Structure 1
Amino acid sequence: MATYAIGDVQGCFDPLRQLIDLLDFNPASDRLWFVGDLVNRGPQSLEVLRYVKSLGTAAVVTLGNHDLHLVMQAAGYGRANKEDTLDAILAAPDRDELLDWLRAQPLVHVDGPWAMVHAGLLPEWTLSQAKVLSDEVSAALTSPNYRDFLSHMWGSEPAAWRDDLTGWDRLRVVVNAMTRMRYVTLSGAMELRAPGAKAPPEQGPTGCVPWFAARKRASAGYFIVCGHWSALGYFEQPDLLAIDTGCLWGGALTAVRLEDRRVFRLPCPQQVKPSGWD
């Protein structure tokens, strides 16, 4: 049995299938971990959703910001962007089935020595705490009243965690950290909007560090797989793998076999015109 973590797909279905062929993936025994952002910006988001869903228990998915953007658009919340490529999903006859499945995916997945999250974890969160918080968001996303949560999910405040946070503010901080964050300030607050907030570390916001470089990070030492940061590209350290290598922008789609960290990389044709770091 092998476990392959795959970076942000963002609707690039043909490269995904080619990469999986390269892996010699066996759905009866192997597992594919998708770090989130299955959809949007690329040309075949509907095909990606249908395919990953069809894999059943052979696929593990954590939600990314673009996946949540789709869920919000389908419910009539949030702002549509001119770069969105979600219309085929929203018009599909199986749209409700696909969206129900997507909403049921977690923000954090933990399996033995490994964990996966789309963006990152705030410095004070242990892995066990992050899993509990992910479960709180999942409960809100799958409740009969999930639209109430979606109507309050958008926004960048509060920027920092407090144990006494409750209600929508609490859930919003969790969503933002796990699906949007790249940088934190030296005090541990998220920096989501400053100039350079999507840039690579050498061009990042003044007074900030990548979330995984935060001092006294409580999740340090636990092996975390993430994506979301195409400007960072492939990055590894003993307890971290960042694997968004910008397939959408003409970079590559990357998979890593977690058991031995072997990297599989498929060069990708440019799917969209570059418009800055995503």
Structure 2
Amino acid sequence: MTTYAIGDLQGCHTQLNALLEKIDATAPAAHLVFVGDIVNRGPKSLATLRQIYALRERARIVLGNHDLNLLAVACGLRKSHASDTLDAILAADDREELLTWLRHQPLALEEDGNLYVHAGVLPQWTAQQTLALSREVEAALQGDDWPDFLKKMYGNEPARWNDALQGADRLRCIVNALTRIRFCTQDGSMDFKTVEGAGHAPAGMVPWFDVPNRKTESSTVVFGHWSTLGLLIRPNLLGLDTGCVWGGKLTAINLLDRSTIQVDCPQHQKPGKKN
């Protein structure tokens, strides 16, 4: 079966429809995998979320930081930012159905040797460890006390993984790695401030995927999150956030032959902090 991986949507519903039309013209009923940040900052977050939900028989997603932010705002645990575009979701009649489905989605998944995450993977994690750690977070997010998990999820510490981490610190570190990482040191210490492209690494750091001997090198890691990085295609790495909401493109890539399909996007957010 043909599979297309699709970069960050961020509520750009018109561009999603245009992209799906192009995909269906090339490979009708292709399997779709979205690499997170389905909603927020674009103009039609509710319509985008509803469409992905309607596509769930042929599509899978991993959660991004903006998707988790939606859940936290919906719980009253965080206030909407000025750039958020979540109000229509929060007021929708089908809000609970959509949010319940959303919080039951994974932070990492593997299909056909491809490892999908929103932002990245710590260099000391294998693909199987990444999936196992993702399941720990998913269990908390899908449990009865999931708002309590979200309440403790935010923060930059611990910035370095340790197998002995427990409780909220352990889950927070996993979430930050899978949904926020861009740069890190060789021992996996993460930076959360720098949002520029790969050439702007903080001192002593490199893009997470360039750490020597990264333990996921035997898998193809497919990710988004990093709009200033742009489209990145390597034998074992696919970066798909091409800045749709910032006036860039929405990108899909065929996992079989690496051919790309792109749609031009108008700018919906002014240049600024891209996370």
- Tell me the TM-score range normalised by the shorter chain: over 0.9
Residues of 2 paired with 1:213 and 1:56: CA distance? 33
2:208 to 207, 211, 235: 211
Asked whether the 8 Å contact 2:114–2:222 carries over to 1, the reply is: yes
Q: Cα–Cα, structure 1 residues 238 and 28, in superposed 2: closer, same or farther, change >3 Å?
A: closer
Q: Cα–Cα, structure 1 residues 26 and 70, in superposed 2: closer, same or farther, change >3 Å?
A: farther
Give percent identity, aligned residues only.
49
Residues of 2 paired with 1:25 and 1:244: CA distance? 23
How far residue 276 of structure 1 moved from its aligned partner, in angstroms, is: 3.9
Residues of 1 paired with 2:100 and 2:34: CA distance? 18
Corresponding residue for 1:250? 247
1:227 and 2:224 equivalent? Answer: yes
Deviations 1:158-212 (A, max 9, x none): 001111111111100000000001010233211112xxx1110112212110000
Corresponding residue for 1:148? 148
How far residue 112 of structure 1 moved from its aligned partner, in angstroms, is: 2.2
Asked whether the 8 Å contact 1:7–1:243 carries over to 2, the reply is: yes
How far residue 129 of structure 1 moved from its aligned partner, in angstroms, is: 0.5
Say which is worse superposed, 222-231 or 107-116, in terms of deviation.
Answer: 107-116
Corresponding residue for 2:100? 100
Asked whether the 8 Å contact 1:28–1:58 carries over to 2, the reply is: no
Within-5 A mapping of 1:1-278: 1-24=1-24, 29-193=29-193, 197-278=194-275
Say which is worse superposed, 200-209 or 98-107, in terms of deviation.
Answer: 200-209
Asked whether the 8 Å contact 2:123–2:186 carries over to 1, the reply is: no
Q: What amino acid is the match of 2:205?
A: C
Say which is worse superposed, 166-175 or 22-31, in terms of deviation.
Answer: 22-31
Count matched residues: 275
Residues of 2 paired with 1:213 and 1:205: CA distance? 14
Residues of 2 paired with 1:199 and 1:85: CA distance? 23
How far residue 62 of structure 1 moved from its aligned partner, in angstroms, is: 0.2
Output the aligned Cα RMSD: 1.4
Runs of at least 5 residues in structure 2 that lack an aligned partner in the other structure: none
Asked whether the 8 Å contact 2:245–2:267 carries over to 1, the reply is: yes
Say which is worse superposed, 268-277 or 220-229, in terms of deviation.
Answer: 268-277
Q: Cα–Cα, structure 1 residues 28 and 203, in superposed 2: closer, same or farther, change >3 Å?
A: closer
Q: What amino acid is the match of 2:19?
A: L
How far residue 80 of structure 1 moved from its aligned partner, in angstroms, is: 2.5
The alignment partner of 1:56 has SS state of coil
Residues of 1 paired with 2:265 and 2:195: CA distance? 21
TM-score by length of 1: 0.96
Deviations 1:92-119 (A, max 9, x none): 0111110000000100010121110000
How far residue 26 of structure 1 moved from its aligned partner, in angstroms, is: 9.0
Q: Cα–Cα, structure 1 residues 79 and 32, in superposed 2: closer, same or farther, change >3 Å?
A: same
Deviations 1:144-164 (A, max 9, x none): 111110110011100011111
Q: What amino acid is the match of 1:220?
A: E
How far residue 261 of structure 1 moved from its aligned partner, in angstroms, is: 0.6
TM-score by length of 2: 0.97
Say which is worse superposed, 87-96 or 25-34, in terms of deviation.
Answer: 25-34
Q: What amino acid is the match of 2:213?
A: K
Residues of 2 paired with 1:221 and 1:25: CA distance? 32
